[in-house]
Amino acid sequence: MFCLDNEAFRFLIAAKQGIKFPEKHLKVYRESWKESQSATRRLFNQQKQVSKEVDDPPQPPSLCYFYRKKQWLR
């Protein structure tokens, strides 16, 4: 399972708009960002591995990609 949290992304957008946050909130957002970053990397690495297993070049993850793979394997 891959948990891609948008809390850190919302923080990043707000910070770029000049919104200031207390330090205690920054710590929470940093941890959230690290978790999402790790999950995203695992997701992409797994997608690359699946592509190698079916002898197909890596593709960006998308619903169309997974649907195409499912159809191809039939």
pTM of the model: 0.51
> At 30, is the pLDDT very low, low, confident or very high (cuts 50, 70, 90)?
confident
**Mean pLDDT of the chain, nearest integer:** 75
Tell me the C-alpha distance between 50 and 64, whole Å.
15
Tell me the two tokens of residue 47.
């997608």
Residue 61 burial (C-beta neighbours within 10 Å; 0-12, 13-18, 19+) = middle
Do 40 and 4 form a contact (C-beta atoms < 8 A)? yes
Choose between 61 and 36: higher pLDDT: 36
Write down the pLDDT at residue 4: 66
Write down the pLDDT at residue 72: 47
Question: Is 60 exceeded by the pLDDT of residue 66?
Answer: no
